[in-house]
Structure formats: C-alpha cells, structure tokens
C-alpha cells in the first residue's frame, strides 16, 4: 500500500531520483560552489553569485519552489548577518563607503559576499534535498546500502525530533496563551515565557521516548535476523542521466578552474 502511495506522490522526475543520487548532486553542487568562490574577476566573487541562480531553477523544476523559499528565509537572514558583520569588521584603506565611524572596505565586502553566498549555496542545496526526499526514503536507502538498522534509526530520529519538538513547543505556547500568559512582546517577555516552556517540553520528550522504546520492542527491533520493510524503494530510470549531468558539470567547472590557474 505504501509503495502505491509513494509512486503516486513522486510524479516529478527530479523528486523521484534515488536518495543517494540526490546526495551526490548535493556534494558536487557544494564542491562547485567552493571552486567558483575562488574565481574572482575584478576581486569580487561574481561566479559563485551566478551559481546561486541554479537553486531557484532546480527547485522550480522539482516542484518545491514555495516550500524551498519558506525554509530558505532563515538561511537568507543568517547570510545577511554574515555579510553585514564582515563589511563593518574588516578594515582596510580601500574604503568603498563611509558614514561617521562606520566604514565598508572592499576586502570586507568581498569576504562577506563570498561567505554569505557560500552559505546560501550549500545550505540551499541541502534544503532542496530534504524538501524533495522524505525521511522514510532516506531510511530505506540507508538500510539498502547496508548500514546498521540501529544507526539508521538514530539518524532518522534526530531529523524527526526537530520537527516534533517544534510542533510540541507551539502547542505548549498556545496553551499558555489560552491561560493568559504573555508570550509575545519584547525580549524580556519572551524570555519569561520561554523558561516555563522547557519543563513540559522536556517531560513530554521523555514520555515520548519511553513510548517509542515500547513500540520498538513490540516490533522486534532488537531481534537478530533479516529485517522486513513496509515498502521497497526502487531506483528511478533517470538516476544515471542525473549523475552524468552532475559529474559533467563538476568536471567542466574543475577543468575551467585549473586552466584559469595555469594561465
């Protein structure tokens, strides 16, 4: 039944790629981002900035553009902070902008742009992977690769725990608001509302952990022998083409960098 549900959901050709192929794309994209960051015509990391344009195209082709944008907002904020800090912290005689005691130098701007776009590229491609791949797909792919089922479970539980804790914290905050406790306002108000949130959140996590232990024991998690699975994850017919394109692009970028270095 799950196999049918999965096949109906994975109508997009890029989303239907095998998780290991997506991981290869993530690694090669990140490598290309690092390589292009070292090419700076005129002193500015122009190519790594243009390389970032691949992400909107890839996410739109994958059908997850809106979900990607929602998850990318925090990365964008972090990148803006990095750019701002680097611009004002790094001092140099090559000043591009000055207002009072605040100055922006060219080395600071270049370093900030390089770091911020590197963060956006690498974090963005990981967001694309997790938006197009479900946790159960990753778990099944790890099992198929021969990884120990206990390690697989710990890894997947860690990914799932972030979402579960976020959902529980929102539930507790809504309950506190219903009781008349202020949870919105300045930093002090939010801090006072945060500490009472920790106790029920931690206790709820401990209770949930005990329930998961009982569930795993009832399913024979520690029983030695071959494990069975609810569904089988099949490879996509487009896996080879995707790997070939990713490897070709990476080889072209690497060759271009070598030729530019030699010259």
- What pLDDT is attached to residue 1? 37
pLDDT at position 48 over 50: yes
Residue with tokens 């600071």: 108
Q: Tens digits of per-residue pLDDT, 69-92?
A: 998 998 999 999 888 888 877 776
- Per the document, the length of the chain is 263
pLDDT at position 4 over 50: no
Cβ atoms 40, 46 nearer than 8 A: yes
Average pLDDT of the residues of the chain? 79
pLDDT band at 194 (very low <50, low <70, confident <90, very high): low
- What pLDDT is attached to residue 55? 93
- What pLDDT is attached to residue 145? 77
Instruction: Cite the beta strand spans of 40-120 per DSSP E.
Output: 95-99, 102-105
- What pLDDT is attached to residue 3? 43
- What pLDDT is attached to residue 100? 66
pLDDT at position 142 over 90: no
- What pLDDT is attached to residue 191? 66
Burial of 71 (0-12, 13-18, 19+ CB in 10 A): middle
Give dist(CA 210, CA 90) in Å, integer. 51
For residues 73, 78, 84, 88, the Cα torsion angle rounded to the nearest 10 degrees is: 180
In sequence order, what are the residues at sequence separation of 6 or more whose Cβ sits closer than 8 angstroms to the Cβ of residue 18? 141, 233, 235, 236, 239
- What pLDDT is attached to residue 190? 66
Kindly list the distances between the CA atom of residue 88 and the CA atoms of 71, 75, 98, 109, 114, in Å, as whole numbers in the listed order: 28, 20, 10, 9, 15
- What pLDDT is attached to residue 10? 67
Q: What is the mean pLDDT of the segment spanning 214-243? A: 75
Give dist(CA 138, CA 119) in Å, integer. 24
Higher per-residue pLDDT: 178 or 83: 83
Higher per-residue pLDDT: 102 or 128: 128
Residue with tokens 């979402």: 163
* SS (HEC) of 113-154: HHHHHHHHHHHHHHHHHHHHCCHHHHHHHHHHCCCCHHHHHH
pLDDT at position 221 over 70: no
């Amino acid at each position: 039944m799950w196999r049918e549900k999965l096949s109906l959901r994975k109508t997009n050709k890029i989303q239907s790629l095998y998780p290991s192929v997506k991981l290869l794309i993530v690694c090669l994209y990140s490598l290309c981002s690092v390589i292009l960051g070292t090419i700076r015509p005129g002193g500015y990391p122009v190519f790594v900035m243009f390389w970032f344009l691949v992400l909107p195209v890839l996410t739109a082709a994958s059908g997850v553009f809106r979900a990607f944008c929602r998850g990318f907002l925090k990365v964008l904020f972090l990148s803006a902070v990095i750019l701002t800090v680097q611009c004002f912290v790094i001092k140099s005689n090559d000043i591009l902008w000055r207002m009072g005691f605040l100055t922006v130098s060219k080395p600071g701007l270049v370093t900030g742009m390089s770091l911020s776009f590197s963060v956006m590229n690498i974090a963005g491609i990981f967001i694309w992977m997790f938006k197009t791949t479900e946790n159960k797909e990753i778990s099944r792919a790890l099992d198929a690769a021969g990884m120990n089922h206990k390690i697989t479970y710990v890894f997947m539980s860690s990914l799932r725990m972030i979402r579960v804790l976020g959902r529980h914290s929102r539930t507790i905050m809504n309950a506190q608001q219903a009781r008349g406790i202020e949870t919105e306002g300045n930093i002090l108000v939010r801090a006072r509302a945060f500490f009472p949130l920790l106790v029920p959140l931690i206790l709820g996590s401990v209770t949930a952990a005990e329930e998961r232990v009982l569930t795993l024991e009832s399913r024979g998690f520690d029983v030695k022998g071959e494990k069975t699975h609810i569904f089988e994850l099949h490879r996509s017919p487009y896996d080879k083409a995707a790997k070939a394109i990713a490897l070709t692009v990476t080889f072209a970028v690497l060759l271009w960098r070598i030729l530019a270095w030699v010259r």
